[in-house]
Each structure stands twice: as C-alpha cells, then as structure tokens.
A and B are shown apart, each in its own frame.
Chain A
Amino acid sequence: MNTADALLRLDSAKGDAKWSGTENVVSAAFVGAMLVVVLIGVLGAGALRRSEKSEKWVEHTYLVLRTIDEVKSGLFEAIADTGAFILTGIPDSLEQREKALSEVESRLQNSRELVADNPDQGRAIGELARLIDARVDLDRAAIVAAQTNGIGAAKDLMAAAGSEGDLTGRIRGQFETIRATELKLLDTRQRADQKPRRQVMWLAGTLFAAVVATVLIGLMKLRRELALRHDLANSLRANRGFLAIVLDNLPAMIFVKDVRTLRYLTVNLAAEAWLGLPREAIVGRTASEFMTAENAEFADRSDRETLAHSDALHIPQDQRIDRDGAVYTFATRKLLVRDAAGKPLYLVSISHDISERVAQESRIKILNHNLGRQQSELEAANRELESFSYSVSHDLRSPLRAVDGFSLMLLEDYGDKLEPEARRYLDTIRHASQRMSQLIDDLLAFSRLGRQSLAHALVDMEALATSAVQEALQGADSAQRQVTIDRLPAARGDPSLLAQVWSNLVSNAVKYTGKTNAPKIEIGARTEGNEISYYVRDNGAGFDMQYAHKLFGVFQRLHGQEEFSGTGVGLAIVHRVVTRHGGRVWAEGTPGRGATFHFALPTEAAA
C-alpha cells in the first residue's frame, strides 16, 4: 500500500455513506420483486389445485354419462334380444336379454351412486328406472304372449300397448335429459372454477408487470449508480496519484499508522529519507521494530497521548537522533483520522525539521545577549564620558581661571615693579590660558555632538545659510565682500546641528578670505541621484590638496595660529554632523586661490 491508499480508503468510506440511499432503493425493489414472485407461486399453486378439482368434475361427469350410456345400450340390447326371441323363438336370446337387463340394473345402481350428491339428477335417474321397468315389464309380457300364443299374440300385445313407441321415446328423452343435465352441471361447475382462476391470472399478470417494471427501474438506477461509481473510482484514482505526488514532495515527514495495531500503513519520501529505510521496510511494522529505542519510545508515548486525550496533539519541539548520531529538532503534529461513524482509523504524524530554525534562534539569542551586554557596556562608557566631560568643563576651567586671574592680579598690583619682559611673559600666560579654555569648550561641543540625539525635521537650508552669512559678517569688514547664495533645496535632519554646519563653513570662508583682495563667497547646491550636495566656495587662502585628508580631523590645522586663529574643531564638527546624517563631506583647494567645501545629505527618499 502506498501513501495515498490509506487516504483513498477513507474517501471511499465517505462515498459509501452517500451511496446507501440508492442501494436501499435498489434492494427494496429486489425484495419486492421476490415477494411478488413468491405470491405468484402461492396463487399458482392454488389455481392448480382448483384446476385439478375441475378435471375431477369432468371425469365424474363423463363417468356419469358413460354409465348412463351403458344403461341405455344395455336396455336397447335387451329390447333387441326380446325382439329376436319373439321373431325366432331361440332361447339364447332370452338368456342374452337377462344378461343385458342385469347389466342395466347394475349400471343404474352405479349411476344412482354417482349422482348421490345431486338430488335432482337422482330423481331424474329414478324416473328413468321407472320408465325402464315399465318397458321391461312390457317386453316380459310380450315374451310370455309369444311363448303361449305365438308371435302374433306378442305383436298384438305390443300394438295393444300402443304406447310402446311412446314409452321408448320417453326413455330416450329421459336419457337425453339426464345427459343434458349432467353436461350443464359440468359447465356450471367448470365456470365456477374458472372465475377465481381468471382473477388469479389477472392478479398474477399485474404483479408480474409490476415486478418487471420495478426490476427495470432498479436496473436503470443501478446502471446510473454504477456509472457514477465508475467516475468516482476514476477520480479517486486521480486523487490518489495527486496525493502521492503531494505527500512525497512535502519536506515534512509523514507517517500513517493503524490505530489498533500501531503498525505503519504508509510513510512519505521525506520519512524514508530521514530513517534511511525503504518504504517496504517500514510498512506493516511498529516503531520499535526499526527505530532507535529513544525515537520509538517517543513515538509510542505521543501516540498514546493522542489516542487518550485528543484528536490532534502538537509537539512544538522534540529532539531526535538519526542513525548517524546527528541531532535534529522537529515540530510534530499528530492527528487522529476517524471514519464517518467517528471510529478512529488512522494516526497521522507530521514532523517538520526545524533544526536550522532552532539553531538560528539560539544564535540570535546569543547575539542578542552579547548585543545587550555591549549596549550596557556602551551605556556605561557613555555615562563615564558624560561625567568626564562634566569634570572637564567644570574642574579644568577653575585652575585656568586662577592662572589667568592671578596673572592679572600680579599685573594690576605689581605691574609697576616688573620689567617689561616680565609683563610680556604674564600676558603670554594669560593668552595661553584663555586659548586653552577655548579648546576645552570646542572639545566639549564636539564630544556632545556624538551623544546628542538627532532631530528629524524638514530643514530650510537656504534660511540657515543666509543667517550663517549674516552672523559671520557681523564685525567683519563686509563692505567689499561679495557673497552669493543660490536657491538651496530643503534637507531632512536636525535643524540646530545643520545650522552649526553652515555657521562653521561660512565663518571659515569669511576667515580665510580676510587677507584676500576682492573676497568672494559662493553658496550653492546640486541634486545628484539619492543625495543633495551643498557647497561653500571662497577665493581665500585655500590649501594644498596633499593635506586634504587632515582637514576634517580634530585639532588639525593647515595654517599657523598667527596667520589665521582657530582651534581646528570647526571642520571636525562639520564632518561629524554630516556623517551622523548619513552624508559625506569633501573639499577642493589650491593654495592662494581659494577652497570649496562640499557636504552631501541623502534625499528624503533615500533617508
């Protein structure tokens, strides 16, 4: 039996349930037909009995008629013998006559007995006997006359009787009457027998027609059902093929067991493959006959559970070891299949190999755990950094203020007692401490950038650039500076951080064009692919491209402090802000000819 056969059987069981209606009709028709046939048999037997009776009546009638005829012939023989004696006088004739008469007497007696059940006929025979006696008496008188007085006397006697011919005629008439009566009686009797026989025949005919009709209808129905069953069988065969293909191509292992014996009815290809056994080695056996002890034990336990508690048992994870010792994890579902009457037939077990998923989940769990640990480490580091920068801002500034303050106090209180060179030293101390304070501030601002969370708004870049220009030109000799700002597309990002970018780039441009004749600053933008790039171009001091990679580092400066002041944090801030927005920065420059700083941000769609 292959995989689909078991299921095919389930299907045909369902088909039978649908079928029983038609089968009832057909079997009822056949039972009805049988009953009718039996009935016809019974009726036929009755009819036969009646017909036998009727034949007896015929026989009886003919017996009566024959007896009467014998009476008649005996009588006329006696009469003929009488005549012969009278004419010839031969005594033999008298003997003949006596014989004939005794025959007549006995036949009459017979006929009386035969018609004993019929008084009318009895009376008719009595009358006949009387007439016969009269004729016999007449003959006897004629014989006596002939013996004593000769033939003439006998003839005279006969003629004198006169009525001789008449008497003979009456005897003949009486014979005919009896005969006719008897025949009529037969006719009546036969007619009485034939009436029920016709009824029986008619009934039998009707019943027979009904049987024929029933059987014909039954046959037609049967034919139709047989055709249907044929179609059903065809479609089941097709289904079986379909099921076999589906089952054998499913990645899950499928086992079907008989509920009573717990022996396998079928398995699919996936199950064969995992067990490393052909189907023939599995079907008809129990789990313990070919599985490892653990696997068989698991199968039995879950089977019992399914049978005892539920129609469907779900086992989310079970581990099994295959023949090579490899550990697999399966998700198993056990289902009880019942017939139409609810009786359990099959135990179907479906097992998915979820080893890969389980392994991945455990890897993810480990990764998540590590990630969580790293995150808390990172948070701790951030907190440390925060408190560090807090100390920097608070505690480092205090001694600096003392250096500056006490230098000034020294200058104020004792300046007149110091050499000019000593006062210059004190000025240098103060200048250095103030510069260090500036460095601390910039460094703090820069480190804050990395921790600060990013806002995500639509930012009017043109407005930011414009206000950065206004701010940078305050206090500078803006009169001869030429600044152009093109139309700038809006960007998505953190408004205050992007303002810082503009401010740093524009103030740089202003600063580095401070020593240029006819300084020019151009601000513009270009949209290319998934990003918008903005630029600030100046015709100021510029830089050597071989140092371009140093531009955006913290505290990196390409110019001396005497030439252009600054801490070297501004471009580092630009770099960090743009990078945090998912963008990039770059610069082009030529010493003495100017520089162009670009930054590109992803467009809204890309962001």
Chain B
Amino acid sequence: MSTGVAEEFFEIVYAEDSPTDAEVTLRAFRKANLGNRVVWLKDGQQVLDYLFGNSPDVLKRPLPRLLLLDLKMPKVDGLQVLKAVRGTPAGRALPVVILTSSAEESDLVRSYELGVNSYIVKPVDFQKLMEEVARLGYYWIAMNRRPAEG
C-alpha cells in the first residue's frame, strides 16, 4: 500500500478525500489480501497526475487494473476524472468503479453517461462495506478480462 503521488505501479488506484473512509476501505483491501496492490490518492488532481504524468492526452503504461473513485473530492471530482480517462483511446478499456456515499439518481445517471463500469453506494454498515470492497477487488483483479495492451 502506498499514499501520495507515486512513481511505482499499482494495480488498484483508489481516490478518496475522507481519511476515515479511506482507512476503513484500505483495511477491507488488506483483509482481502489486496493491500499491497492499492495506491490511495486524496483528490482528483492527484489521480490525473498519477495516470497521465506530464502528457495530458496519453495515459501512462501499463494501465492499472482498476480505478476506484469517490465522487465528491477537492480540486477535481470523480466525474471529471472519469471524463478525462474516457476521453483517451486507451482509457476506454480501463475499468472504473464509483464508490460513493451518494445514492442520488442524478449522480448515477451522469456516471453512466460518462461510461462508468460500476456504481457502488457505500453502506454505512462497516461489515457490509468490507464485504463489498473484498468482492470488488476480487472481481476486477482476478475475474475480469480486458484487451491486451498494445
């Protein structure tokens, strides 16, 4: 596990501005034995910097296996990150999952319009959240197949 902008490669990129939520989520990843594959970034700008580096239009290679975004974040929010990623050719194959407290219909509609792969409302119940995160990591890391990177 790592925090802050890192040059290292991680399979799961996790964006979350609330430290307590992040701690709970990261604990869930650890319990699912995925802890060392996750990088935690605290806002959308850090995510963009991590994914794009210095070139604004081209994603760095290799691509992560999963991008996990909170919606409401300082500077650049989750939907803006999603839009930027889907705006590049390679980004269309990057699995993006929204993990948020908002169950608002408008957020759901907007996310799917921008091409999200999955939208998950964070349960308040901690145990349920742990189960969700474990299932999520397992599905996208172990089960999901995507095109080979060219």
Residues in chain A within 8 A of chain B (CB atoms): 390, 393-395, 397-402, 404-409, 430, 433-434, 437, 441, 444
Decide yes or no: A397 and B104 within 8 Å by CB, A405-B24, A409-B27 being known contacts. no
Q: Quick one: which of B65-101 are within 8 Å of A by CB?
A: 71-72, 100-101
Measuring CB to CB, which residues of chain B are less than 8 angstroms from any residue of chain A?
A: 18, 20-21, 23-24, 27, 71-72, 100-104, 122-127, 129
What chain A residues lie within 8 Å of B21 (beta carbons)? 398, 401-402
9 A-B pairs besides A399-B20, A406-B20, A409-B24 with CB distance below 8 A are: A394-B72, A398-B101, A401-B20, A401-B129, A404-B126, A405-B20, A405-B129, A433-B124, A434-B124
Q: How far is the CB of A5 from chain B (nearest CB, A)?
A: 77
**Chain B proximity of A159: nearest CB distance (Å):** 183
> Which residues of the other chain, B, contact A444 by a CB distance below 8 angstroms?
103
Q: How many A-B residue pairs have CB under 8 A?
A: 59
Q: How many Å from the CB of A439 to the closest CB on chain B?
A: 11
B101 contacts across to A, CB distance below 8 A: 393-395, 397-398, 401
9 residue pairs, one from A and one from B, having the closest CB atoms:
A437-B124, A402-B20, A405-B24, A405-B126, A397-B101, A408-B126, A394-B101, A404-B126, A394-B102
Q: Quick one: which of A393, A407, A433 has the most chain B CB within 10 A? A: A393
Contact B24 A402 (CB under 8 A): yes
Q: How far is the CA of A17 from the CA of B55 in the complex (A)?
A: 98
**Considering only CB atoms, which chain A residue lies closest to B103 in the complex?**
A393
Among A394, A433, A437, A444, chain B packs the most CB atoms within 10 A around the CB of: A394
CB distance from B106 to the nearest CB of A (A): 9
B72: which A residues are within 8 A, CB to CB? 394-395
Instruction: Offer 11 A-B interface pairs, CB within 8 angstroms, sorted by A.
Output: A390-B102, A394-B72, A394-B100, A399-B20, A401-B101, A401-B124, A402-B20, A404-B125, A405-B20, A409-B27, A430-B126
**Known interface pairs A401-B24, A402-B24, A406-B20. Does A434 touch B125 (Cβ–Cβ under 8 Å)?**
yes
Cα–Cα, bound, A394→B20 (Å): 14
Residues of B within 8 A of A395 (CB): 72, 101
- Nearest-CB residue, chain B, relative to A400: B124
Tell whether, in the assembled complex, residue A393 and residue B102 are in contact, meaning their CB atoms are under 8 Å apart.
Answer: yes
CA distance A394 to B101 in the complex (A): 5
A149 to B: closest C-beta gap in Å: 191
A397-B124 contact given A402-B21, A409-B27, CB 8 Å threshold: yes
Q: A403 to chain B: closest CB distance in Å?
A: 9
Q: How far is the CB of A91 from chain B (nearest CB, A)?
A: 184
